[in-house]
Amino acid sequence: MIVKTKKYALDKKAYRRAGMRNVLREQWWVGLIVLAISSMAFVIPSNWWWIGALIALSLYLLFWIIQFAGVTQLEQSKMLFEKLSYEINSQQILIKMNSKQGMPMKWDQIKRAWVDKKQIVLVVNKAQLMLFPFNAFKTQNEIKFVETILKRKGLLKTDAPAEQKA
């Protein structure tokens, strides 16, 4: 079975939100560094440890916010945010600009996936994501089929279907 999505443009705000969620999920250990710096206030009493940890965390988050905001503005990534359609099957994802031009993406290029209440997110790398909003699919069965493919490929770890998530 081949799932053909409707032609849609990727929402820049949703892309930035999903990108930040992905970075925070992948780099959770940064929180441990902030806690370690903050805990130095108990060894050498000073409020500067707390302030330094807060500044470091703020700069780290600001760096990633700027990265994802920049991706949405760059000329090289302009194609990501144009109206595209996708054909998804168990071998590949075909990204189609029109009926004659397209680019295949094999499943082994996808590192991880997750499903939230509005979309399916595929992580290619830290800064590159593919978002499939549920309204891009024609039926609920297509969403379930894509989730089944993701589970078979070992990319989706959750067992709850998308419509049960709140």
Q: What is the pLDDT of residue 113?
A: 92
Local structure of 22: helix, strand or coil: helix
Burial bucket for residue 77 (CB in 10 Å: 0-12, 13-18, 19+): middle
Q: Residue 146: pLDDT band by 50, 70, 90 thresholds?
A: very high
* Strands of the sheet with 119-125, listed across from one edge: 112-115, 119-125, 128-133
Residue 162 is classified by DSSP as G
pTM above 0.85, yes or no: no
Q: Residue 166: pLDDT band by 50, 70, 90 thresholds?
A: very low
Whether pLDDT at 163 is above 60 = no
Q: What is the rounded radius of gyration, in angstroms, for the C-alpha atoms of the chain?
A: 19
For residues 98 and 50, the model is more confident at 50
Whether pLDDT at 158 is above 80 = no
pLDDT digits (tens, 9 = 90+) for 21-34: 999 999 999 999 99
Q: Which of 115, 144, 145, 141 is nearest to 130 (CA)?
A: 115
Whether pLDDT at 151 is above 70 = yes
Whether pLDDT at 162 is above 80 = no
Whether pLDDT at 160 is above 60 = no
Q: Which of 78, 79, 109, 75 is nearest to 92 (CA)?
A: 109
For 78, the enclosing helix (H) or strand (E) is none
Q: What is the pLDDT of residue 102?
A: 84
For 153, the enclosing helix (H) or strand (E) is none
Q: Which of 129, 124, 93 is nearest to 12 (CA)?
A: 129
Which residues are paired to 105 by β-bridges? 93
pLDDT digits (tens, 9 = 90+) for 53-103: 999 999 999 999 999 888 888 888 787 788 888 999 989 999 888 888 888
Whether pLDDT at 39 is above 80 = yes
Q: Residue 128: pLDDT band by 50, 70, 90 thresholds?
A: confident
Whether pLDDT at 164 is above 50 = no
CB 156 within 8 A of CB 150: yes
